[in-house]
Structure 1
Amino acid sequence: MDAHFFGIFKALDGTCQWLFRRSEYTAWTDLKLSNQQSGLLCIRGKPGAGKSTLMKMIIKQIESGEHEKDATVLRFFFNSRSNTRLEVTMRGLFRSLLCQLLQQDKTLLQGFLPFYRRKVYMYGTDWEWYTEELKDYFWNMCMKQRRKHLFLIVDALDECDGTDLGVVINFFQDLLWSSAPEKPAVRVCFSSRYYPIVPLERCLEVHLDKHNKPDIIRYIERWLRPSDAVPGLKRLAAEISRRASGVFLWVVLVVNAIIKARDEGETMHRMLQMVQDLPKQLNDLIRQLLMAISDDRPEEALHIMQWVAFSRRAMSTRELRFAVEIGRMPNHKSHQQVLTSPTFISSDGQMEKLIRARTKGLVETRRYDGGSQSTEDSQATSTIHVEFIHGSVKEILLYHQGFAILDSSLGGSPSGGSHRYLATTCINHLGFEELPDLTLITAEEEPLERQEAVEVAKPLYETFPFLEYSVDSVLEHVTKAAFSSTSTPPSRQVMDSIIRSFHIWRRLADLNLTRNYVERRGSSTTFGHVAAEYNLVEWMTLLIQQGLDVNCIGGRYGTLLQTAAVMGHEGLADQLLEFGADVGIYGHGRFGSALSAAAFSGKSHIVRAILARGPDVNVAEGEYGTALHTAAQLSDANEDIIEILLEVGADVNIHPLDCRYHDALQAAAFSGNKKIVKRLLDAGASVNARGGEYGSALQAAASQGNEAVVTLLLSKGTDVNSNSGDYGSAVMLAASGGHLKIVRHLLALDLAPLIKKSAPSGEPTAFSEELEQRIKDAIALAQDVKKFFDALEKTDILTMKTILDFGLDVNVRGGDFSSAWHAAAIDGNAYAMALLLSRPNIKPDMRDWIGRTALWYAASEGHLHVVNQLLDTGLVDLTVKTANGRNLLWWPCHNGFVDVVWVLLEEGVSAHEEDMDGISPFMMARKERRAAVLEVIEIASGVGLEGGGD
């Protein structure tokens, strides 16, 4: 999302300086004034007046001015030109601001990482942040003690999604009014058009278009260079400035036209007449330019604008060169034909010139002065991207018949036709003759690791510059083009084309997903699973009529019904059920059942439809547990679904073996939904059930600072002193998270017997003194534990030893991995392990919530030295298994750690002990083709170290 920021016009030297002298701005930057007095500044202006450029200058001025060292600057530029929803929504705003804040404050980052890692553990790699959790977490971060003043710069507030706008405004105003006066200052700066009206309270305002005339004159002089030596040029410049009415973009478009006319030999009189004939309103000028395009080879301009308006992301000039050629010549059958085509644009420089000429300056190329828009692993070789010159151009094209000027067939709804053009172009590219022979396509093995995928992708996308976009975007364009909403022959032809290249698409799509840490679909995926994922309803009907098994299993989610259910496609789920989809297929995909998948989607209609077919409501075969578990653990849980499941007999006290939350109550307590917690308690949930990562519902609620839930659980008699789970007691969890109200509440209950002895006077009582001391002790212990685990992660042995010498229990629970034993084993940290083993009263065989020990982790990660350290203690259990029955050899055999396998075989660990799914370590080695491991097991069997066989 930084691409838009880096692509904003750079202000000319000497411009924008007027703002920094205005009283509104100087009051805003006066940090001695309270947040309520001068915390909010709004830059208002007409479309195209230069608000974004000015906002960029404000950021530069703060970062290089008097507050350079004592200010944290966070920015977000809403961008309606983008085809990425994140750039116009509240979720994108808070995700970006939180990321910037954590990058600039390492202390806050350390507190955030456990929360992030828990999300990864719970959802794997394929998940999205919930808007509310991002907003709440950002609020909490801002409320924490700051060492620097906080400047929040939000551009183009009027381009925020309408449903989010009011929430965003209220958030920032509440942040200003809630910040304590004694803390570093908070300053918020918005920019916005005059319309739509953005209501702001207690706001300092600057109207840009009333003050930017000197900047406009400077820009005109920069490009036209009027002087007495060229008669009439000064008058021309003055006329442009007069007619601009403060709209900088109008000036840019007019100056471009004048420069072109001057270069073509037009007289001064003619150029002056041109300026006087141009519409004064920006929108009218844009429409006039579109009409000029329609009279002069409109097809190329139309296709360029369709790609810019409807592409899934910003495209580079290199990608666009190939996209335009493939779209223009759909009969191309190979990449080579594209390269040798007489109409192919062979260089980025030539493409830039063509874009400017064909679109009359409405589309431009921008080289980002802040670096590439893409990530470090992107295969894009250029930082030049293609964009509309301003959001007003896209608005007119999409919403005011602009595309109809270029092509009357696009009429009032240009989206469908444009997506059909983009989709067809991508489909044609995926059918190129060279692709089936790629090593990636013909190889039997999938890329196993991210780095391997990156290495494979780099030369591939260098050779085929438009391929990455085609793979990532084709099905989104197909969906938006509504190809599958009709059974006409063209629709079937498109489907048949996709199916012919489906194997190619799937392998390349999995490559891209791996590069981005997202779970691959895998070779079991059929086109039916993808059709279900993208809600291609009519095509799904056709596929089943042609023989696709409605209960086929594959992909990430298992059955077709599970796929449709988890995506929340109600109509498709109904259709699959009518075709006979079996709701009783369990144990496949991430959710393990269609009912759990439906519960995850939050769509009560799908839940009811599946329940009507009689599934087992209490089955727990997936990562999330039962359907009730799944629904309860979502932060935006659907209360209606909880009620539906309880009505049909969902058991509130089922404890899935390897589910992160011991029961639905613990899941709901962690998520913080008081209504759902109360409903589960009313339904008979055990308030003191023990198990799971957090140990109890109280501990889960305390860890997240869910005060209302903590109070409710305490009123139901929960055990305050439970110490199960991976993180210690509820007091420890609350103290570690900085939730002091909960710490005080829990410790006060523990000291209740002293209340009766408290004196009614204002003198400190034994109770209050004891309580305050215990609060201090709890906070100090939490801080020591945090420092200890931080030091362990950095292998800071001296700090670890110092903290242990001051009395910290070497076996203390905490950190991201239950105990120091687990953390050292996972990282293969032999130095830390040696220090831990040197202490008295050690317990190196502690179990985490799922039954894993340090030895189990060290073996699974292939850390032979740490394995030997632990074996030498004689204090470790060699028969340890996880909740799902996997012994010490299961993962070493899976991952091919030959030395570890041999050592454990010598210790008597069996390679033929099956887990709860009936899979042994030997079977996994055979499945993963670990030839060296299989040979070691065979040798061990031959010398009597290992018996039996599969």
Structure 2
Amino acid sequence: MCLDLYQAETKFACLQSLSFEEIDDRLNDIRESHPNTCNWIFETIQFEQWKNRENIANSNGILWIKGKPGAGKSTLVKFIFLRAKELFPDYIIGSYFFNARGLPLQKSFLGMLRSIVYQFLDQDQQQFDRFIPMFLDKNKKHGTSKNWAWHPGELQRFLLEMLRFKLKPTILFIDALDECHDDEVKETISFLEKLSAAAVASNVVLNICQSSRHYPRYSIRKVTELVLDNRTEHNQAIEKYIEGNLKIEEDSIKTELLEKADGVFMWVILATRMLNDAYNDGRLKATRRKLDQIPSDLDEVFRTILGRDNPHQEQTVLMMQWILFSESTLHQEQIYEAVLAGTDPEALSNQDAIVPEDIEKYIISTGRGLIECVRRKGGTHVRFIHKTATDFLLRNNRLKMLDPSLTSDVIGSSHSRLAACCLAYLETEGFDNSHPESQQVSRDRHPFLSYVNKNLFYHAERAQARGVHQHEFLQKLQAEHLLFQRLKRLHDTDYNSSEYAKYGTDTSLLYVLSLNHCAELTRVLLNDKNFDVDVNARAGYFSNALQAAAAASSFLRDKNENTIRILLDAGADINAKGGRSGTALQAAVTSIHRYAGNFEVRVTSAVVEMLLKAGAEINTECGYYGNPLQAAAAAFGYGQNLPSNRIIRMLLDAGADINAFGGHYGTALQAAAATEGDMFFSGYDEYFPVDTIQLLLDSGAEVNARGGYFGNALQAAAFSAAYTSRNGCSFLSSRYNTSNDLKAVVEKLLENGADINAQGGYYGNALQAAASNAIYYPRIVLQALLDAGANVNAQGGHYNTATQAALAACHSSHSEHQQGFIVQVLDMFLKAGAMDAAESKRTFYQKYEWDIADIELYEQSGWLALVQAREDRRKPPPELSW
């Protein structure tokens, strides 16, 4: 039962590491095909050959659908995909629909790989069994999957290797290749070509259906192409659409509309809408004039739509800027408030009467029919009706034509305007944020507030980086104290704001910019004497701006070297002490704890090197960890062993004292052995720092050095190894090879002379430290300690004896399994000669109210027999048949 549950949870976690929230959004966004407009595809020679694999020597199983922008390629691919189960019974079916208007993963090669691997694993248990060791290995090296990401290379290798293991017949749909990142399109197409060729070579059935525009032009050697342009069947599908949607029955208008469409479905959708609007008053001549006025080029249609008399032009342009340049997709309520903030902020104070239906009408009307509202799980999102609208606005300065006030750098001036909108929104009367309760009310009543909180500086920084000056933006925040305080309070009460990410009420604007890696805004603030900024002002969790920037180098997953360099050039004291991290160097090293992926450690290495070259003192004693070396040694427990060792070597080469005493753990060796002992940064599982321990010992670390929370390294290792046992029942270790890992650090320290019965620290000795985690049944660790000569009757520490430590783990809320773990630990100690074990067992029985029958059965037959008996008792009596 426990094993099945663990396997199910592991599979779920593995699949979740590949998935992402928007993984199916584009597929769901594409409208269902209009009735009888796509069936023709099944009757084409190209589709028949692809489906039946009749021309495999020349196509390698690839069908490439091509067409003009707006021709309906995505609708066609979705139509085939939705019918794939009946067309390809017993096939594994996967798909990916690129989305240039989506978030980064939705338009990336990596997003495609993660999605199709997820789908293959979910449908093929054999391939999942091959993949799971990769997942477990990454978890072991990097912590839980929330703190690392899959690399394209390893997923490509897995997909190619799948073919060697005779993958089941598979079909793959890849839509809108041209909507992949520009620099990744060629890589994506090349990989699909390579995958198809490898499948043929391995005699594996793999059909790939992919679609794209004609440009950018890429080619592959073996493929079957199906081009929609001027294809009779496609034009007939457009004709069916016109028949079903145009209100006018005049055949000549329908014929001319079809001819002008030139195979572009999006054009005919827009044109039909415009003609229906013109026909609403019943005047056929006016409709004919409108048809004559509609350009045949799709871009010109957009120009016509946006060029009509528009009394709300400012709101239209701003709404389009938000959709084009927002950091994340906005809900309809958010974009409604965002537009009002930039055009009519006074209207924001009276929104009680507005309902979602009114907001949707406002958005569609203001967007001139080019913007739509799409219902999603988390709310109704706003987007352009088609990628061609985005293309139109971003090409040839068209956005500037709509709003001449924009500078020649449309992107930079747009970000500047969005930053101004965010600031105007913050200034709105009615935000009562003096208390957490009122702040939550503000969030509920003002949906745009969460976006402003997260992205105010994002827009201002990007505007400044493109040369659109943000002096006025900075002056407003610097001069208006109440506005800046409001911003900080709103940010710090965000449920996602951890202690280290909070601004604090006493911090300066410079500190906030440094924490948000806003290098360009920081430069402006420091270079302009009118701002009168003290670069060494003390405030905030990290004490000063330099520490904040150093820490942000990793935990914000972004390079912050430029900000650090700007601060140093402005006179920041590189060795200023204060805050939890003590110094900038320790803050930079500690930042490894936040996200311990390879990329972040590389960034941290660069920052550490910069600080050392700038004169950072390496053995200064201060901060939570006492010194940078101890901070680096503690980092391994949060996901990265070898990369953290790289930091440790850097510090040792720079003169770090291997046995420097101080900080929470006393020494670097104890910090390394503590793994999950540091509750401040808890949350990473199943990682064992054998290599780090060996590196420190080889560098001269004293194995029995005393001091720190655990008293010595062995006690830290015993506690942590026992605590890590919590991740599953003890018998799981044989399946997933964790038994040796659990005791590896303990044994490594013992091999190097650690005193098994050394006294000191919170738990008194190593055995008591391990026993305090009895509810996780650390049998392997406890047995290793007992075998090495641990004195089961040693006294001292918080619980006085190891037996008392195990008994103290008892709690009435514990599950039946946890009760079993504790009593079995007490039995281990009784067998080992613990003088207080028998009495502790009696106390345990009373605590959990075991009756005589339970006690006798356990003593005679063991824990599993008792569990089975209890389950039998809980079963309902059989129904009697009369």
Tell me the TM-score normalized by structure 1: 0.62
- Report the equivalent of 1:366: 374
Give 2:304's match in structure 1, choosing from 288, 292, 296: 288
Indicate how the Cα distance of structure 1 residues 121 and 66 shifts in structure 2: closer, same or farther if over 3 A, else same. Answer: same
The alpha-carbon deviation at position 258 of structure 1 amounts to 0.3
What secondary structure, in the 3-state scheme, does the structure 2 residue paired with 1:409 have?
Answer: coil
1:565 CA displacement: 4.3
Task: Report the alpha carbon displacement of residue 270 of structure 1 after superposing the two structures with TM.
Answer: 3.4
In structure 2, give the amino acid aligned to 1:473: N
Match of 1:272 among 285, 288, 291: 288
How far 1:326 moved relative to its partner?
2.5
Which segments of 5 or more consecutive residues in structure 2 lack a partner in the other structure?
Answer: 1-21, 593-599, 620-626, 660-666, 676-685, 696-716, 719-724, 747-766, 789-801, 833-842, 848-882
**Aligned mates of 1:201, 1:286 — CA distance in 2:** 37
Residues 649-678 of structure 1: per-residue CA shift (max 9 Å, x gap) = 78999975445999xxxxxxxxxxxxxxxx
> Contact 1:363–1:387 (CA<8 Å) still a contact in 2?
yes
Partner of 2:193: 173
Query: Are residue 196 (structure 1) and residue 216 (structure 2) matched?
Result: yes
Amino acid at match of 1:554: Y
Alignment map for 1:880-895 (pairs within 5 Å): none
The one-letter code of the counterpart of 1:187 is: N
Return the match for 2:49 from 3, 27, 32: 27
Please give the alpha-carbon distance, in whole angstroms, between the structure 2 residues aligned to 1:92 and 1:402.
Answer: 31
After superposition, the C-alpha distances for 1:586-625 in whole angstroms (9 at most, x for unaligned) are: 8719983447769835388755542322335686446644
Aligned-partner SS, 1:252: helix
User: Is 1:396 aligned with 2:392?
Assistant: yes
Q: Is the 8 A contact 2:99 2:106 kept in 1?
A: yes
> What is the CA–CA distance in structure 1 between the aligned matches of 2:433 and 2:198, rounded to whole Å?
62
Instruction: Report 1:133-152 matches (<5 A).
Output: 135-136=155-156, 139=159, 142=162, 145=165, 148-152=168-172
SS at match of 1:42: strand
Partner secondary structure for residue 482 of structure 1: helix
* 1:156 alignment counterpart: 176
The within-5 A match list for 1:799-810 is none
Find the aligned partners of 1:247 and 1:273 in 2 and give their Cα distance: 21
Q: 1:521 to 1:297 in 2, by over 3 A?
A: closer
Aligned to 1:741: none
Q: Is the 8 A contact 2:109 2:180 kept in 1?
A: yes
Cα distance 1:592–1:493, how it changes in 2: closer, same or farther (>3 A)?
same
Counterpart residue number, 2:149: 129
Code of the residue aligned with 2:740 in structure 1: it is R
Change (3 A) 1:405 1:574: same
State how far apart, in whole Å, the 2-side matches of 1:34 and 1:433 are: 68
Q: Is the 8 A contact 1:42 1:204 kept in 2?
A: yes
Q: Report if aligned partners of 1:430, 1:501 keep a CA contact under 8 Å in 2.
A: yes
| Corresponding position: 1:223 with 2:245 | yes
1:243 to 260, 264, 274: 260
Q: Which residue, out of 563, 568, 571, partners 1:572?
A: 563
> Match of 2:565, SS?
helix
Compute the displacement of 1:98 (Å). Answer: 4.0
For 1:629 and 1:649, the matched residues in 2 are separated by 24
**Distance change in 2, residues 1:574/1:365 (3 Å):** same
| In 2, Cα distance between equivalents of 1:809 and 1:171 | 33
Counterpart CA distance in 2 for 1:508 and 1:440 is 9
Q: Evaluate the alpha carbon distance shift between residue 81 and residue 812 of structure 1 in structure 2; reply closer, same or farther with a 3 A threshold.
A: closer
Structure 1 residues 481 and 188: alpha-carbon distance in aligned structure 2, compared to 1, 3 A threshold: same
1:560 is matched with: 548
Which one of 410, 427, 431 corresponds to residue 414 of structure 1?
410
- Quick one: which of 131, 136, 143 aligns to 1:114? 136
Residues 412, 462 of structure 1: alpha-carbon distance in 2 compared, 3 angstrom cutoff: same
Opposite residue 70 of structure 1, the aligned amino acid is: Y
Instruction: Quote how far apart the aligned CAs of 1:49 are.
Output: 0.5
In 1, Cα distance between the equivalents of 2:736 and 2:318? Answer: 68
CA distance in 1, matches of 2:180, 2:214: 14
Displacement after TM superposition at 1:128 (Å):
5.7
Partners of 2:735 and 2:328 in 1: how far apart? 52
Q: How has the CA–CA distance of structure 1 residues 182 and 89 changed in structure 2, closer, same or farther, with 3 Å as cutoff?
A: closer
Aligned with 1:560: secondary structure?
A: helix
Q: Does 1:534 align with 2:554?
A: no
Q: CA deviation at 1:499?
A: 6.1
Give the CA deviation at 1:414: 1.9
SS at match of 2:257: helix
Alignment of 1:900-915 (within 5 A): none
Alignment check: 8 A CA contact 1:4 1:79 kept: yes
User: Secondary structure of 1:436's partner?
Assistant: coil
Residue 808 and residue 477 in structure 1: after superposition, are their counterparts in 2 closer, same or farther (change >3 A)? closer
C-alpha distance in 1 between matches for 2:806 and 2:63: 57
Q: Deviations for 1:410-435, whole angstroms, at most 9, x for unmatched residues? A: 25322233223322222233344443
Other structure's SS at 1:20 match: helix
How does 1:1-16 map onto structure 2 within 5 Å? Answer: 1=22, 2-16=24-38
The residue type paired with residue 391 of structure 2 is E
**Aligned partner letter, 1:277:** Q
Aligned residue in 2 for 1:87: 106
Q: Which residue of 2 aligns with 1:891?
A: none
Paired position in structure 2 for 1:302: 317
1:305 Cα offset (Å):
1.3
Deviations 1:727-749 (A, max 9, x none): xxxxxxxxxxxxxxxxxxxxxxx
| Residue 316 to residue 697, structure 1, CA distance change in 2 (3 Å) | closer
AA of the residue aligned to 1:600: V
> Hey, what's the Cα distance between the residues in 1 that align with 2:304 and 2:329?
26
CA gap of 1:270–1:114, structure 2 versus 1, over 3 A, is same
Partner-residue secondary structure (3-state), 2:299: helix
CA distance in 1, matches of 2:158, 2:363: 41
Q: Secondary structure at the match of 1:188?
A: strand
Distance 2:819 2:240 in 1: 69
Cα contact 1:558–1:588 (8 A) shared by 2? no
Give the match for residue 612 of structure 2: 611
Code of the residue aligned with 1:152 in structure 2: it is L
* 1:559/1:347 CA distance change after superposition, 3 Å: same
1:592 to 586, 596, 603: 586
Question: Is residue 272 of structure 2 the alignment partner of residue 258 of structure 1?
Answer: no
SS in 2 for 1:153: strand
Q: What is the letter of the counterpart of residue 822 of structure 2? A: N
Residue 256 of structure 1, CA deviation: 0.7
Amino acid across the alignment from 1:224 = L
Change in Cα spacing, 1:486 to 1:153, as seen in structure 2 (3 Å) is closer
Q: CA deviation at 1:470?
A: 2.2
Q: Which amino acid aligns with 2:214?
A: Y
Q: Which piece of structure 1 moves more, 487-496 or 406-415?
A: 487-496
Q: Once the 2 structures are TM-superposed, how far is the Cα of residue 145 of structure 1 from its aligned partner?
A: 4.1
**What is the deviation of 1:118?**
3.9
Is the 2:371–2:383 contact (alpha carbons within 8 Å) kept by the matching residues of 1? yes
How far does the alpha carbon of each residue in 1:19-41 deviate from its partner, in whole angstroms, 9 at most, with x for none?
22223223333369869843322
Q: CA deviation at 1:215?
A: 1.3
Task: Map 1:837-916 onto structure 2 (within 5 A).
Answer: 859=809, 865=819, 868-875=822-829
What residue is the counterpart of 2:533 in the other structure?
Answer: 546
Aligned pair 1:337/2:337, yes or no? no
- For the structure 1 residues 506 and 826, does the alpha-carbon distance in structure 2 shift closer, same or farther, using more than 3 Å as the test? farther
CA distance in 1 between partners of 2:213 and 2:737 (Å): 60
2:81, 2:744 → 1: CA distance?
A: 40
Question: How many Å separate the matches in 2 of 1:816 and 1:240?
Answer: 77
2:339 aligned residue (310, 324, 342): 324
**One-letter identity of the residue aligned with 2:107:** V
Paired residue for 2:679? Answer: none
AA of the residue aligned to 1:214: Q
Structure 2 distance, partners of 1:122, 1:857, is: 30
2:326 counterpart residue number: 311
CA distance in 1 between counterparts of 2:631 and 2:152 reads: 24
Cα separation, partners in 2 of 1:114 and 1:306, compared to 1, 3 Å: same
Query: TM-score, length-normalised on structure 2?
Result: 0.66
Give the whole-Å Cα distance in 2 for the aligned partners of 1:846 and 1:144.
Answer: 46
